[in-house]
A and B are shown apart, each in its own frame.
Chain A
Amino acid sequence: MKIRFTKSQKRTILRIAASAVLLGVAAALPLEGVLKLTAFLIPYLVIGWDVLYRAIMNIARGRVFDENFLMGLATIGALAIGQYPEAVFVMLFYQTGELFQDVAVARSRQSIADLMSIAPDTANLLSGGVYVTVSPEEVPIGSTILIRPGERIPLDGVVLDGTSELDTAALTGESVPRPVSVGDAVISGCINLRGVLTVKTEKTFGDSAVSRILELVENAAAKKAKAENFISVFARYYTPAVVVAALAAAFIPPLFFNGVWEEWIFRALIFLVVSCPCALVISIPLGFFGGIGAASRHGILVKGGNYLEALAKADTFVFDKTGTITTGTFSVVSADAEALYYAAHAGAESTHPLSVSIRESFGEIDRSRVRNITEIGGRGISAEVDGHFVLSGNANLLREHGVAFTPSAADATAVYVSVDGQYVGCVSLEDIVKPEAAQAFAELRSLGISRTVMLTGDREEAAERVAEAVGVSAFQANLLPQDKVSAVEELLGGKGHLVFVGDGINDAPVLARADIGVAMGALGSDAAIEAADVVLMDDSLTRLPEAVRIARKTRRIVWQNIIFALGIKFGVIILAVFGYANMWEAIFADVGVAVIAILNAMRMLRV
């Protein structure tokens, strides 16, 4: 990435160069006394006048202890005791450090902005038989828009005509193009790779995926991690404390213990130079910001630094089965013909994955044969089919209606069907485990996450089959939707944090109850984006270990910076008390540490 300096940054660079040259001249001239001081004052003022000016302005406003004041005091003190070159150098390095911080921050902002440059600029709107180019904000819901190859999809909608492949990498981190054809939903922000697509828009620009994602990432920096808040509070006390310590060091030993004035003032000045908390204060939000950015590049939207921090400490992962560990589509493995007929018709209106799969397996449904459909949550469906009272659902449904039946022996999901109170047979379905599931669980285990729990409303046998196939450490079957919340509550309260992973459909209460709610495959699902703390843009389970790795790396970098910066600063303070530290070490503890901490934090930008 090319670094572009702003006007004020360029001016600072010039001043640094000019001051360095003038400092060299001042050091080379064989001057003494006032002339020597004047020679050094020139480079000092060239580089430091604005710091002094701001310090005075802030004192006038009643704000002492800011970095300008500290640097002003330290350098004037150094001039007072004859440490001329040191005074200039402190100012010089301080300004270099500030410049560096500025550039680093601008660069990470730019990197996140680039990453998020997925917002399309224009849309081709069908208007009066011709396509006109308009701004995406102006396109109403239900409009027809045209997307040519190479263009970004401007608004969420459904394909009316054309087939193509979409590059979703900017949104999901997935590099394999996604094929689309008539009737498929398309998400704004993807790039149309091949054919021309005509799309009917289903959302306004403000509600489209691309706007929502941008908003989410923009706002993520506002949810601060504990480490960040800790440092803000720490910084508020650290600086005044060091300044008080500096005053004590300057006056107490010479006044009461026969210390040499010059020596102790010099030590106090070292305190002042290291008292600036900038390195810490800046490197921590920078680290989290970078971590959130790195996660979004991998199709993982984290809603705040606090969630990233919590994810690093997660030790329990709880999963919904259907749609999360499995694909959410079922295949009918065996069925009694009569049971299949009634189950398909009773479920004519249902969006439950089982009903959808049964309908697909049965074929064409005559809707006019079905009346009085009632969905019974966690049980099944009752309906009138061909004038008969049909129950279609799990064992509990039939048991509660007093229907005798033979439980299925297969390790599959069973839909039992009764007609007018008589059991007629069952439909056995197997859900398809996601191909990457086993690998994802193996990766989670290798990250030390030992407790993985699968929750499902499905029967024990079916749950066990899936649990064994993917390798979860425990599972709970036969749960009603409301049971999932209490199951999660029981699992909460361990040492680490609990993550609940769902597909974002019907699990908002559980997502909210967990320490971290993760919604997968949330492209386009507003409810899931709303309820979750972490949103996975596609539904690949391998994003989870990836998210944990990014979270841990972020935490590691942040703590490295905290420990490193504080360690060096306190180290120099202690050395200074005993007279072993000089001004150069103090400058390193201030500017050097800031630069190193920032460089360390910026490693997150390359994850």
Chain B
Amino acid sequence: MQKSYKLENLCCAHCAANMEHAIKKISGVHSATVAFMTQKLILEAEEADFPAILEEVKKAIRKVEPDCHIIEP
């Protein structure tokens, strides 16, 4: 299933691309897109895997841009 999250303080397009690259590599993620212009992360994975994946995603985001974090709906 697919979920979309708002990203706060995502302030560089290059970082967004790097984040996307890192999130795609997390195991269990089918696809991931970080849209810089709309400040959104769209994540596709199995529903059951989401909690675990989300933790990894947060780590990956923090590594690329420390001030940036996701807002869970």
A contact set with B: CB distance below 8 Å = 57, 61-63, 66-67, 102, 105, 108-109, 218-219, 221-224, 232, 235-236, 277-278, 281-282, 285-286, 289
Contacts and interface: CB of A to CB of B under 8 A. Distances in A.
Contact of B4 (A57, A219, A236, A286): A219
A61 B60 CA distance: 11
A105 B11 CA distance: 9
Nearest to B20: A232
B58 interface: no
B33 to A, nearest CB: 4
Contact of B13 (A57, A61, A219, A282): A282
The 9 closest A-B pairs by CB, nearest first: A232-B17, A221-B35, A282-B13, A289-B37, A221-B38, A281-B13, A222-B33, A281-B14, A222-B35
A61 B38 contact: no
B21 A285 contact: no
Contact of B64 (A63, A108, A236): A63
B42 interface: yes
Contacts of A278: 12-14
A474 B16 CA distance: 46
A219 B20 contact: no
B13 A285 contact: yes
B37 A109 contact: yes
B40 A221 contact: yes
A492 to B, nearest CB: 25
Nearest to A218: B38
Given A63-B64, A278-B12, A282-B13, A105 B20 contact: no
Contacts of A282: 12-14, 36
A62 B62 CA distance: 12
A285 B35 contact: yes
Contacts of B21: 232, 236
Interface in B42-71: 42, 63-64, 66
Contacts of A66: 15
Interface size bracket, B side? 20 to 34
B37 A286 contact: yes
A218 B40 contact: yes
25 contacts: A57-B66, A61-B63, A61-B66, A63-B63, A108-B37, A109-B37, A218-B38, A219-B38, A219-B42, A221-B38, A222-B35, A222-B38, A223-B33, A235-B14, A278-B12, A278-B13, A278-B14, A281-B14, A282-B12, A282-B13, A282-B14, A285-B36, A286-B37, A289-B37, A289-B38
A289 B40 CA distance: 13
B41 to A, nearest CB: 9
Contact of B42 (A63, A222, A277): A222
Contacts of B4: 219, 222
Given A222-B33, A285-B36, A67 B14 contact: yes
A286 B12 CA distance: 12
Nearest to B4: A219
Contacts of A109: 37-38
B43 to A, nearest CB: 11
A285 B37 contact: yes
B45 to A, nearest CB: 15
B37 A235 contact: no
A289 B12 CA distance: 15
B71 to A, nearest CB: 15
Contact of A224 (B14, B33, B66): B33
Nearest to B33: A222
B38 to A, nearest CB: 4
Contacts of A63: 63-64
Contacts of B64: 63
Contact of B37 (A62, A105, A223, A232): A105
A236 B37 contact: no
A234 to B, nearest CB: 10
Interface string B9-34: 00111110110110000000000010
Contacts of A221: 35-38, 40
